[in-house]
């Protein structure tokens, strides 16, 4: 497959688009709170497509993945599967037609970057909306996406422990994701000045704890734009319900989600 233009790519790729801007409530907050149009790419999580895009995922995060929240949750409840099938197709294109995929994604980003500038907004990109791909290792014509767009601020959540220790591109910001199984690594990241996203069992609009494991908690639901969070802070996120109610309740009470009543209780030695 050879990329010519976006219209041709839609026909040949059999999906309407790869990424989008302002496509969720949190990304709309980026626009309002952080003055950013954020391009986001949603792929099929874990190995749902036959390719594993989340090598450090845990049983809890696979079950509780936000790929079944938001618009997809509405689809699942309506016995539809359009969005999930599209994400599977995009993921297959990424692995099987890498150059075609990359050139299409670049064309989309260029168009949205131009729109952001015209509308008076900064432009940022989050390429791991529901994946954990090591984008700094992927190149097109000898360049990474960060080199192709040096004036774009990229950011992602990430569970790869080694990525937090690497020298990343100046325009790429990573936030480590706490899973309940990686506390020693999460605390080391915080001590080294990195940030860690922690999900708390708090309802929408509810108050987050002030600290977690001795580190300041900031409200990560005010905006999804993470590069402005500062250093060495816990990005507090409230649990977002997923489509399956039984699994939703199971994961909400698992180690994946921190119970607020236990936040300041010392661990038994």
Instruction: Give the model confidence (pLDDT) of 149-203 as tens digits.
Output: 999 999 999 999 899 988 999 999 999 999 999 999 999 999 999 999 999 999 9
| Mean pLDDT in residue range 34-43 | 96
Q: What is the per-residue pLDDT for 268?
A: 35
CA atoms within 13 A on the CB side of 117: 8
Q: What b-and-e string marks burial along 230-246, b requiring 16 or more CB atoms within 10 Å of the CB? A: eeebbbbbbbbbbbbee
Domain that holds residue 95: 10-262
The span from the CA of 248 to the CA of 253, in Å, is 9
Inside any domain, residue 268: no
In-domain check, residue 5:
no
Q: Residue 145 domain-assigned?
A: yes
pLDDT at 256: 94
The number of distinct structural domains making up the chain is 1
Which residues pair with residue 216 across a beta bridge? 211
pTM of the model: 0.90
Per-residue pLDDT averaged across 85-107, rounded? 98
225 phi and psi angles, rounded to 5 deg: -75, 105
Q: List, for residues 102-138, the tens digit of each pLDDT value.
A: 999 999 999 999 999 999 999 999 999 999 999 999 9
The answer to whether residue 73 scores a pLDDT higher than 50 is no
pLDDT for 80 equals 58
Sign of CA dihedral 58, 62, 67, 68: negative
52 falls within a domain: yes
Average pLDDT estimate for 40-66: 91
User: How far is CA 170 from each of CA 128, 227, 232, rounded to the nearest angstrom?
Assistant: 18, 11, 18
Quick check: is 267 in a domain?
no
pLDDT confidence of 81, banded at 50, 70, 90? confident
Residue 135, domain member (yes or no): yes
């Amino acid at each position: 497959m050879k990329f010519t233009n976006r219209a041709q790519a839609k026909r040949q790729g059999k999906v309407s688009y790869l990424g989008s801007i302002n496509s969720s409530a949190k990304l709309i907050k980026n626009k309002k709170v952080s003055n950013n149009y954020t391009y986001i790419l949603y792929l099929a999580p874990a190995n749902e497509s036959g390719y594993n895009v989340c090598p450090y995922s845990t049983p809890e995060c696979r079950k509780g993945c936000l790929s079944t929240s938001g618009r997809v949750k509405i689809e699942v409840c309506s016995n539809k599967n359009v969005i999930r099938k599209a994400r599977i197709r995009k993921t297959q294109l990424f692995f099987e037609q890498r150059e075609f995929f990359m050139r299409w994604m670049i064309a989309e980003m260029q168009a949205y970057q131009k729109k952001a500038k015209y509308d008076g907004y900064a432009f940022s990109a989050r390429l791991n909306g529901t994946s954990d791909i090591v984008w700094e290792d992927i190149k097109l014509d000898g360049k990474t996406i960060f080199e192709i767009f040096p004036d774009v601020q990229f950011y992602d959540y990430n569970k790869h422990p080694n990525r937090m220790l690497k020298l990343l591109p100046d325009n790429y910001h990573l936030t480590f994701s706490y899973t309940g199984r990686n506390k020693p690594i999460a605390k080391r990241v915080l001590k080294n000045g990195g940030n860690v996203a922690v999900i708390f069992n708090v309802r929408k609009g509810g108050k987050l704890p002030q600290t977690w494991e001795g580190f300041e908690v900031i409200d990560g639901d005010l905006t999804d734009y993470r590069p402005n969070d500062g250093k060495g802070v816990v990005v507090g996120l409230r649990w977002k319900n997923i489509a399956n109610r039984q699994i939703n309740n199971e994961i909400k009470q698992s180690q994946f989600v921190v119970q607020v009543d236990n936040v300041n209780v010392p661990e038994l030695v």
